Chains A and B, each alone.
Chain A
């Protein structure tokens, strides 16, 4: 007994030290992520100079921008990474109006992850039907939100104006604004400036491009590793949140989806987490649906955080980060708030789940069609316009 008593506190101390080390790593990775967005911004500014708009002329058609967002996110498997890169590019000179469809596309592209996760249930028909429906409800919601808000954006610039107003609040006059003193920017400046000074020695084109590539690599590395660490560190917290949300209605589901996503820093993780819960039949589609909507809102935090510290056109960077946030909040308010629209994603995903359970090729066709063929067609058509 004496041995056990001496061993147990030692074990507790080791676990505590491990946890502390992991939290320190998370903090360092978030710091790295913010630096990386600054590096991309600096690189893009160096590379494009005053020609950022011309460089992204291919995305001047909003459908092309949307496709870039969808395909990039579907390939990288992380909307946080893609939106952080977009924030960096906007800070480096990419016009906000070109970036808006890209962040919308990032929303659609990220939903491929949980759809692929649901394919793991293919060998049990009923389980697969439930899992595939639970995965595609997120897709249909995101597609519907683009169908509603992209035309509104093209016609009125609704999101661009709202984002500009919100960013203006933070970049207003006075010492309390970010413009007065930005601690995060001051903390990341030495690292970002060091990278920039090294890149300058290679010339504008090579140096700028190298900075962009290094920045993208660092963002990808930081977000992937932070996701892995937070999954381990926050699983207990996520469990408590979900226990609290059970049986408390859709608002609680949306709030818990948002919180879990902020804690694990990945909407793909949150929505994929729902797949086995739906597959087993314990959670119905109507329970899963609000949770996935919350995931869309929670994932915007990463880009907002990164946008607080970029150099260059910092106000525009914060504007695009807020546009992503406002887009996701408005989508929830409009689609979930209007009863006629609320159940459309559920009905569509249930119908698709039934078809896919009978014919598994339909599931494969759906994934290839929505995430690759349809974007390619859009790109082809938009290039002709």
Chain B
């Protein structure tokens, strides 16, 4: 913080602007990566369509998991 006190007002303003710009760029990059991840998931929609059906196996598996865990406890 002592270093900051030594900086001129112009220099501080320049640093603030640069930090704000970096923040915007970082946020944009995070959003871009999220969109790419979402695009990739949607490309796999055929597979998801198949798993989007009510599947009694999922229910059976869930109950088996509950039984397994209650026995462990």
Q: Could you tell me which A residues sit within 8 Å of B by CB distance?
A: 77, 113, 116-117, 119-120, 122-123, 231, 235, 238-239, 242-243, 246-247, 268-269, 272-273, 275-277, 280-283, 287, 360-361, 363-364
B31-70: which have CB < 8 Å to A? 31, 34-35, 37-43, 45-46, 48-49, 51-55, 58-59, 61-63, 65-66, 69-70
Q: A117 touching B39 by the CB < 8 A rule? A: no
Nearest CB in chain B: distance from A115 CB, A:
10
Min CB distance B49 to A, Å, is 5
Cα A82 to Cα B50 with chains together (Å): 23
Contact A280 B65 (CB under 8 A): no
Is A246 within 8 A of B39, CB to CB?
yes
Residue of A272, A281, A282, A287 with most partner-chain B CB within 10 A? A282
Contact: A273 with B48, CB < 8 Å? yes
Distance (whole angstroms) from the CB of B58 to the closest CB of chain A: 4
Contact B61 A116 (CB under 8 A): no
Q: Give chain A residues whose Cβ lies under 8 Å from the Cβ of B35.
A: 246-247
Could you jot down 12 A-B contacts, CB within 8 Å?
A116-B59, A117-B52, A231-B49, A246-B38, A246-B39, A247-B35, A272-B52, A275-B52, A277-B42, A282-B34, A282-B38, A282-B41
Q: Which residues does chain B contribute within 8 Å of A116, judged by CB atoms?
A: 54-55, 58-59
Max chain A CB contacts within 10 Å: which of B31, B52, B55?
B52
Residues of B within 8 A of A268 (CB): 54
Bound Cα distance from A8 to B70, whole angstroms:
56
- The interface residues of chain A, by DSSP majority, are classed as helix
| Interface secondary structure of B, over-half rule | helix
When distances are taken between beta carbons in the complex, the residues of chain A under 8 Å from B52 are 117, 231, 269, 272-273, 275-276
Report the count of interface residues on B (CB-CB < 8 A).
28
Q: Which residues of A contact B37 (CB under 8 A)?
A: 281-282
A197 to B41, CA, bound (A): 52
Q: Which of A122, A247, A277, A281 is within 8 Å of B48, CB to CB?
A: A277
Q: How far is the CA of A25 from the CA of B17 in the complex (A)?
A: 62
Cβ distance B65 to chain A, nearest Cβ, rounded Å = 5
Q: Contact: B59 with A243, CB < 8 Å? A: no
CA distance A260 to B7 in the complex (A): 57
Q: A116-B55, A246-B42 are in contact. List 8 more A-B contacts (CB 8 A).
A: A122-B62, A239-B42, A242-B45, A243-B42, A246-B39, A272-B52, A273-B48, A273-B52
B65 pairs with A242, CB closer than 8 A: no
Partner of B61, one of A113, A122, A231, A269: A122
Cβ-defined partner of A235 (8 Å) among B39, B49, B55: B49
A273 touches B39 (CB 8 A): no
Q: Are A120 and B31 in contact (CB under 8 A)?
A: no
Residues in B with CB closer than 8 Å to A122 are: 61-62, 65
Complex Cα spacing A217 to B28, Å:
53
